Amino acid sequence: MMALSFSKESEERITKLLPKYPDKMAACLPVLWIAQDEFGWVSDDAMRLVAERLDLSLAHVYGVATFYTMYNKKRVGHYHVQVCTNVACMLNDAYDVMGSFERELGIKRGQTTEDGLFTLCEVECLAACGGAVCVQVNKDYHEKVRAEDVGAFVKKLRAAVTPDSAKAAGTIEAKG
């Protein structure tokens, strides 16, 4: 098995990023983020790669990656759907929105659809309380989501997937 390595583009991002920090340890969070961007999640191999790249102990990198919930420690779907259920969102029917996603996708929170297209998660605060209910899909925020909007929302996401984008994301098999 070939060892995991950063692409040329990711290496360039890391090289450009390092001078902005007082030492390599301080760059651990953004380099983990770069690893997640490239590989889709932060696997044990990705943590080893980050530790090696930054000359840090694996224990340190593991501690950082497992402390922060923004790092996916298991593979997620092409679309990582995160529904905020904190106070402002909860008061605006976040659990109804979550239930609509569960019914529309045929999965429960914490699960991934069989085709690998969607992973559904409940999250605490997305810091968009003025736009409750907030749903984050990958890096994009969608505010004021209502339960009745979910069907059209999921349909739009499904329609946006192309064989090339699915294959590039490595989350589902490209067909066609």
Say if pTM beats, i.e. exceeds, 0.75: yes
Model confidence over 113-148: pLDDT tens digits? 999 999 999 998 899 999 999 999 998 999 999 999
Q: In terms of CATH, what superfamily is 79-169?
A: Glutaredoxin (3.40.30.10)
Owner of token pair 């390595």: 5
Q: Where are the domains of the chain?
A: 10-67, 79-169
Owner of token pair 């790092």: 71
The mean per-residue pLDDT over the stretch 150-159 comes to: 96
Model confidence over 7-42: pLDDT tens digits? 999 999 999 999 999 999 999 999 999 999 999 899
Segment (H or E) for 90: helix 87-91
Backbone φ, ψ for residue 119 (5° rounding): -120, 130
For the domain covering 10-67, report its CATH number. Answer: 1.10.10
pLDDT of 171 strictly over 60: no
pLDDT of 162 strictly over 80: no
Q: What pLDDT is recorded for position 173?
A: 46
Backbone φ, ψ for residue 72 (5° rounding): -85, 115
Of 68 and 52, which is predicted with more confidence? 52
Question: Rounded mean pLDDT of the chain?
Answer: 91
pLDDT of 91 strictly over 60: yes
> Which 8-state DSSP code applies to residue 173?
-
